[in-house]
Amino acid sequence: MSKIVATLIAGLFATSVFAAQTTTAPAQTTTPAASTTTKADQDVSKAKANETKEAAKANAKVEKKEAEAKSDVETAKAEAHKSKAKAHKKTQKKKAEAKAEKAENQAEAQTNK
């Protein structure tokens, strides 16, 4: 049994040595490495471009929300001004009515004397 195990282990070592010798070729290792580096550079460039694009989109969204918020504030101010003017008009009308009523009451008081 130990002879069988020893033979199998020796066969594995022999196969690994043979495989290592046949795949080593200087021309093939430099070309894939160069293309891998180029591809990695392209991937990095694409990632940076995507990051820049996403940042631009995010900035555009923020600017849009800020513009909407400013618009909402302006609308709220306009509505508040309108409400204030309406309340002022009602107050002036009530003051005029009260003044007229007071004048009528004084006139009645003088005629009753």
pLDDT at 97: 92
Tell me which H or E stretch contains 113.
none
Model confidence at 89, pLDDT cuts 50, 70, 90, reads: very high
Residue 11 token pair: 């066969």
Tell me which residue has tokens 């580096």. 37
pLDDT at 33: 55
- C-alpha dist (Å) from residue 15 to 7, 29, 64: 12, 21, 66
Q: Is residue 59 a part of any domain in this protein?
A: yes
Q: Is residue 25 a part of any domain in this protein?
A: no
Range of the domain at 51: 47-113
pLDDT in tens, 49-82: 999 999 999 999 999 999 998 888 889 889 999 9
pLDDT in tens, 26-40: 554 445 555 667 888
Q: Is residue 66 a part of any domain in this protein?
A: yes
Q: Is residue 19 a part of any domain in this protein?
A: no
**96, amino acid identity:** A
Q: Is residue 87 a part of any domain in this protein?
A: yes
Average pLDDT in the 72-94 region?
91
pLDDT at 32: 54
pLDDT at 73: 87
pLDDT in tens, 96-108: 999 999 898 888 8
Q: Is residue 26 a part of any domain in this protein?
A: no
Number of domains in the chain: 1
